[in-house]
Structure 1
Amino acid sequence: MNTYNQRRIRVGMIGGGIGSTIGEVHRSAMRLTDRFDLVAGIFSRNHKHSLHTGLQIGIDPNRTYAGIEEMIQLETVRPDGVELVVIVTPNESHFPLAYAAIDAGLHVVCEKPLTASLRDALDLYKKTIASRIVFGLTHNYSGYSMVRQAAAMVREGSLGTVRLVQAEHAQGAGALPVEFTEGIPVPWRSDPEQVGKEIVVADIGTHAHHLIRFITGQEVEEVSADLSTHVKGRKVYDNAQISLRLTNGSRGALWASRVATGNEHGLRIRIFGERAALHWDHEDPEHLRFCPLDKPPLTLSKGQPGLSSAAQATQRLRLGHPEGFIDSFASLYHDFGDAIQDRGDRNSLPDLESIFPTVVDGVYGVTFIESVSRSHKANGAWTETSVSLDK
């Protein structure tokens, strides 16, 4: 990875208090890139808990704030104030927090999904375009070296025309009714008031959706969806089976589930072209299986000679030294840092080496969620996923 002429970028985090896995993942990724300084934050709705987190991670108590308005008001007048706001809160809060940050001229990194509605997503898109800030969305799986290798191979024509795509993000963690355990608060991912009933699509289905778009370069044009709930009493859907039609005429299927009993993380993608296929599995992220039509299959390894420049750009260690989940976030943060340093002029950066999910990907993700919901309510009728991104 290039590290020349890098300056430190000052960060304020919203969410991610002690006990938040994703908050620590983001902090670890920023540390791994060695170009971000976390200097302020709002780590919990409970200010006492927020102060506790701030002290634990070395934040000046005077820069641990009670709300977004206070943080923006005080940080934007400091010569050493935050430049980037990182949002790792439940879904329904993404829009107001991101909008306030953009309105103050601050760059934004936000967890997915972008917003809880397409209207809000489009508002953020227009606000981002008008302000020229950098807006990064953490679909982190596109930060893996071998995912970027897969995207490069598709674009180079190694598969020929893509015909079929099979993607799944099928976990087993929700197979038990954990939200009904006495004395344990209902997890926010099981509360439809906070996340919407389609959370299985919004939370993990959008990762598979983004991988399809990122690797193939195609958009999903239509969906036919069936959503279901398999744990008695659960108020959100915990399984989604979705048929896809893509822009080049290819077909696909996406399975997102929290009740795939026995599965671990369960994210994988297979792409079948006219001349070859690619298989990538998140539980073996260092390898990419390439299956030509007329030759024996090959297993490509992260770090081996001859990989694309896009794959090489995300490698921190040599062949045989494994990298993982936090490294994929760090790859995105490296790209975010480059874009912030260049004030968002992505045209000046090399293709693929600088690709990272943006507010545009967020809009497509929310469009996908809403289209899936409409299709399910129409008994699986084919439903368009088109959206206009007029400025």
Structure 2
Amino acid sequence: MNSKLKMGMIGGGNGAFIGAIHRAAALMDNRIELVCGCFSSKPDVSIASGREYCLPDDRIYASYEEMIVREAALPEGVRMDFVSIVTPNMLHFGPAMLALEHGFDVVLDKPMTFSLDEAVRLRDKVRETGRTLALTHTYSGYPAVKEARERFARGDFGKIRKIYVEYPQGWLATRVELEKGSNAGWRTDPARAGKGGCMGDIGTHALQLAEYVSGQRCTALCASLNAVVEGRTLDDDGAALLRFDGGATGVLIATQVAAGEENSLNIRVYGEKGGIEWSQMEPNSLYVKWSDRPMEVVRTGNGYMGAAAKANTRTPGGHPEGYIEAFANIYRNFALAIQARKAGRPTDPAADFPDAEDGVRGMQFIETVVRSGYDDTRKWTPWVTE
């Protein structure tokens, strides 16, 4: 009989919104329980947070190193089974590597690491240890996205020709990183975020979604990046032309200075016979478009959905599922994979989730888009005049 997986958390203390999201998602399906954590680099904040989460003092730690080493010394059935790391980018690699070295599985926020070199080393450690790593590219957890992926995989639309993905936000339209307590501070700081600003934060989501739905991998791009808001060092806006290994071409747009926008992630993919359109702001609808018949509106929670969408849907049609549920699908599928591994049985292909390979892809994208994005000599052709 399967028992609940025991989760430890690094980061996500009081006031950290993404930590609360992770905890809600992890606990949703009753397969995981929070048993320990180092919730802040400040010991007093970590202790206060852990007590608020109803943990005993001896399972609340002052550093991630202490947590991982001490948990590893506890008997099986008491110690944590995996760790969820919800820290800024520059604090992903160290805790994740240490956890893998001590025999723990890992859930990690994206982008996977601070640099491509770190991502490759972490991916290689996952391969070496045989542990499981899940990366929280949340949007691939939506049932409608899984339905789109399944329809393209079975060839409903013929050969894929065009992929358009855009992610406009407006929350960085001003220097909010200068406000006390703003989580924009580390995201706009190259010393903490890495080479990519907007492209690292949300461009990676857009690229992963395009590859996930289409089943194709980007092989080349031509980009333009901008730091629109005066005084900002990292990109807060950009676009890229994309080429894919299956012959499709596409466009990726990511911006955080589109004033008034929230999280308007959209994707359109077109094949020879038709295509799909999906928006994160209306996640339960998938628009299917055909050359020879009217558009279909496919709604999640209905019996006509494919196996992957059904496996990742909790409620009947007309009962909307959203961001938390998509996030929870990653945690649930991660838990199912660990339980299957422990039992020596194969994993359910419908219970998929982004992994370390996707993490390396994300860091390759950041490196490539930054290298291309500031090299005007390779992409701008002067306007033809008389």
Shared fold (TM-score, shorter chain, > 0.5): yes
Structure 1 residue 68 displacement after superposition? 2.0
Distance 1:346 1:227, change over 3 A: farther
8 Å contact kept, 2:115–2:194 = no
The CA RMSD over aligned residues, in Å, is 1.7
- Structure-1-length-normalised TM-score: 0.93
Distance 1:185 1:57, change over 3 A: closer
Q: 1:277 aligns with which of 275, 278, 289?
A: 275
Range with bigger deviation, 365-374 or 197-206: 197-206
Output the CA distance in 1 between the equivalents of 2:81 and 2:371.
39
| Structure 2 equivalent of residue 100 of structure 1 | 98
- The answer to whether residue 353 in structure 2 is matched with residue 356 in structure 1 is yes
| Structure 2 equivalent of residue 20 of structure 1 | 16
Output the CA distance in 1 between the equivalents of 2:235 and 2:195.
6
Structure 1 residue 197 displacement after superposition? 4.3
Structure 1 residue 346 displacement after superposition? 10
User: How many residues were matched structurally?
Assistant: 377
| Structure 2 equivalent of residue 290 of structure 1 | 288
Q: 1:36 aligns with which of 32, 37, 53?
A: 32
Structure 1 residue 345 displacement after superposition? 9.4
| Structure 2 equivalent of residue 385 of structure 1 | none
| Structure 1 equivalent of residue 125 of structure 2 | 127
Structure 1 residue 266 displacement after superposition? 1.3
8 Å contact kept, 1:90–1:195 = yes
Distance 1:269 1:380, change over 3 A: farther
- Structure-2-length-normalised TM-score: 0.94
| Structure 2 equivalent of residue 247 of structure 1 | 245
Structure 1 residue 365 displacement after superposition? 0.6
8 Å contact kept, 2:225–2:374 = no
Output the CA distance in 2 between the equivalents of 1:359 and 1:58.
31
8 Å contact kept, 2:165–2:266 = yes
| Structure 2 equivalent of residue 365 of structure 1 | 362
Output the CA distance in 1 between the equivalents of 2:308 and 2:43.
42
Report the identity percentage.
Answer: 37
| Structure 2 equivalent of residue 209 of structure 1 | 207
Structure 1 residue 126 displacement after superposition? 0.9
Question: Which runs of structure 2 are paired with 1:234-383 in the superposition (5 Å)?
Answer: 234-343=232-341, 348-351=346-349, 353-379=350-376, 381=378
Distance 1:74 1:165, change over 3 A: same
8 Å contact kept, 1:339–1:345 = no
Q: Can you list the C-alpha shifts for 1:9-55, whole angstroms capped at 9, x where unaligned?
A: 01110000111111001100112111111111010010100111001
Distance 1:356 1:185, change over 3 A: closer
Q: 1:88 aligns with which of 86, 89, 103?
A: 86
8 Å contact kept, 2:106–2:132 = yes
SS, match of residue 289 in structure 1: strand
Output the CA distance in 1 between the equivalents of 2:337 and 2:303.
28
Structure 1 alignment gaps of length 5 or more: 383-391
- The answer to whether residue 169 in structure 2 is matched with residue 171 in structure 1 is yes
Structure 2 alignment gaps of length 5 or more: 380-386
Distance 1:127 1:56, change over 3 A: same
SS, match of residue 8 in structure 2: strand
Distance 1:85 1:158, change over 3 A: same
Structure 1 residue 350 displacement after superposition? 3.3
8 Å contact kept, 1:224–1:244 = yes
Output the CA distance in 1 between the equivalents of 2:352 and 2:184.
37
